[in-house]
């Protein structure tokens, strides 16, 4: 009974392709996130959604489009993949409320060749 689950765990694809990463949480949280971790382990927020509504949209190329069909799911679609998109992408969720810690998925390692 994984709390935050992402699929796939590994994704290898060629430049120019379009791919999606799925995320689901069964914690009943209202807020979900996508973070990107680069090769140096640096973590940066990309998006957050609260009850299907976009709350945070950092400076991310518009090739990246999050979609939240319901508050338990937040998918990430990436168009026209580039070499620089290679990274580990983490989904996370948190309950509404101040200072709530995030619960992370195990990550999706995307490799663009």
Partner 1 sequence: GNSVTQMEGPVTLSEEAFLTINCTYTATGYPSLFWYVQYPGEGLQLLLKATKADDKGSNKGFEATYRKETTSFHLEKGSVQVSDSAVYFCALLFGNTDKLIFGTGTRLQVFP
List residues near partner 1 by CB under 8 A: 4, 31, 33, 40-45, 48, 50, 55-56, 90, 92, 94, 98-99, 101-107
Shortest approach of partner 1 to residue 58 CB, angstroms? 8
**Which residue lies nearer to partner 1 by CB, 47 or 64?**
47
Q: From CA 16, how far away is CA 45, in angstroms rounded?
A: 24
**Which residue lies nearer to partner 1 by CB, 18 or 38?**
38
**Which residue lies nearer to partner 1 by CB, 48 or 75?**
48
Shortest approach of partner 1 to residue 41 CB, angstroms? 4
Shortest approach of partner 1 to residue 78 CB, angstroms? 19
3-state secondary structure the chain: CCCEEEECCEEEECCCCCEEEEEEECCCCCEEEEEEECCCCCEEEEEEEECCEEEEECCCCCCEEEEEEECCEEEEEECCCCHHHCEEEEEEEECCCCCCCCEECCCEEEEEC
**Which residue lies nearer to partner 1 by CB, 18 or 31?**
31
């Amino acid at each position: 009974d994984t709390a935050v689950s992402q699929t796939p765990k590994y994704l290898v694809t060629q430049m120019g392709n379009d791919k999606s990463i799925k995320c689901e949480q069964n914690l009943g949280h209202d807020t979900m996130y996508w973070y990107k971790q680069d090769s140096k382990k640096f973590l940066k927020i990309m998006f957050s959604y609260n009850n299907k509504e976009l709350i945070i949209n950092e400076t991310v190329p518009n090739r990246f489009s999050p979609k939240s069909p319901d508050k338990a799911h937040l998918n990430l679609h990436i168009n026209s993949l580039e070499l620089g998109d290679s990274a580990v992408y983490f989904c996370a969720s948190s309950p509404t409320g101040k200072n709530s810690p995030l619960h992370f998925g195990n990550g999706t390692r995307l490799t663009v060749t």
